Every structure is written in structure tokens, then in C-alpha cells.
Amino acid sequence: MSEDASRDRGGPSAFFRQHEAVLRRTREIGPVLDLACGRGRHSLAAAALGLDVLALDRDRDSLDVLARQGEAWRSRAAPGSFGRIRTLCADLESGASPPLEADSFGAILVFRYLHRPLCPWIETRLAPGGLLLYETFTRDQRRLGWGPRRNEFLLEKGELPRLFPGLRIERFEEGPSGDEKPAQTARLLARRPG
């Protein structure tokens, strides 16, 4: 599972909820890829918007729980209102590209995960017009006494948009996350031109 298991509790982040409408419009572009999804709180939220989701994480047990939960939610939803969730177990930090079924995605979600070498790959996996929603911890998080401690898992001030030079930045902010459990994060909404 990803560095901080606490990211998997509860519903989607405030940043995700703020962008549900624009995320819903990516349905025509392609499926959603949720990277380092943990227990899948954002995968479930995207599927609830009617989007098909590929949830990727290295923790097979969490993915199995997510798959069962997604099917249960889908079976109770009105036909066509809840997207399909597929899972893929892969280690994003192994150096090998994950074996994805789709070449490109309408949206990519990354929440509370950072592996800088993956950023160019993320850019190439977005379809033209595709959307990136990315939120992860900044170095200011250390003051709160929880979350990642190592610099490799924490962003410097203003770093997140610089990691995606090929994308058009639509929104970028840093500071308190606005979630129930306070966190210091950087939040990025960006789109692949085209």
C-alpha cells in the first residue's frame, strides 16, 4: 500500500469534490486511471460519477476489497449510473511501466502519492484533452506530525506544476487541504493540450 494508509479513510478529498463536474466531462475522452489508489476512495467516487476506472496499486488485498466494494455499489445503482472499476496490481516504483489495457486515459488521479520519475509517464498516458487531478503532501506537512517524513515523498514549494511541463495548468494551489483531517498539500488540475 502507499506510504500513508490514512489517505484511504473516508470519502474523496475536498479537491476531488471541487472538480467532480469537470471530471465527469472526461467520460467521452476515456477511462480514469487512479494511481496508487490504496483502498480506492477516489476510484469509488469517480465510478459514482458514471466513469469507468482502472485502479492501480501494489497492495493486492486492498485492490480485492475495492473490486468487491465497487461491484456491490454498482449492483445497487441505477443502470448506467455507476462506472465499472477494474483493478491492476503493480508496483509503480519498480522502474517497469505497468501493463495497462488502455494506451491513454481521459483522466488520471493521483492523491497522496509522489514518485517523481513517474511524472513524464503520467503525461504520456493522458489522452489529448485529458485531465490530471493531483494532490500530495508538501514539506509543510511535517509540522502536523503525521504523513511522510522523507523528502522524496514531499513536494517543495511550487514544485508540482514544474513536474508536468507538457500540461496546461488550469488550477494550482498549496496550503491546507480543506479535508476533515488537516493536511498541507499541493493541488493541481492540469490538462493535456489537444
Per-residue pLDDT tens digits for 4-60:
333 344 799 999 999 999 999 999 999 999 999 999 999 999 999 999 999 999 999
Residues 190 and 169: beta-carbon distance below 8 Å: yes
- The grid cell for 20 is 467532480
Q: What is the pLDDT of residue 181?
A: 85
Report whether pLDDT(161) > 70.
yes
Q: What is the pLDDT of residue 63?
A: 97
pLDDT band for position 95 (50/70/90)? confident
**DSSP helix/strand/coil, 26:** helix
d(CA 14, CA 119): 23
pLDDT digits (tens, 9 = 90+) for 116-152: 999 999 999 999 999 999 999 999 998 898 998 888 9
Averaged confidence pLDDT in the chain: 92
- Catalogue the E-assigned strands of the chain: 32-35, 53-57, 85-89, 105-111, 126-137, 168-176, 184-191
d(CA 182, CA 52): 30
Q: What is the pLDDT of residue 106?
A: 98
**DSSP helix/strand/coil, 87:** strand
Nearest to 111 by CA among 5, 7, 10: 7
d(CA 161, CA 164): 6
Q: What is the pLDDT of residue 179?
A: 85
- Evaluate whether the domain defined by 5-191 bears CATH number 3.40.50.150: yes
Q: What is the pLDDT of residue 96?
A: 82
Residues 62 and 34: beta-carbon distance below 8 Å: no
> Bigger pLDDT: 1 or 38?
38
From the number of C-beta atoms within 10 Å of its C-beta (0-12, 13-18, 19+), residue 188 rates as: buried
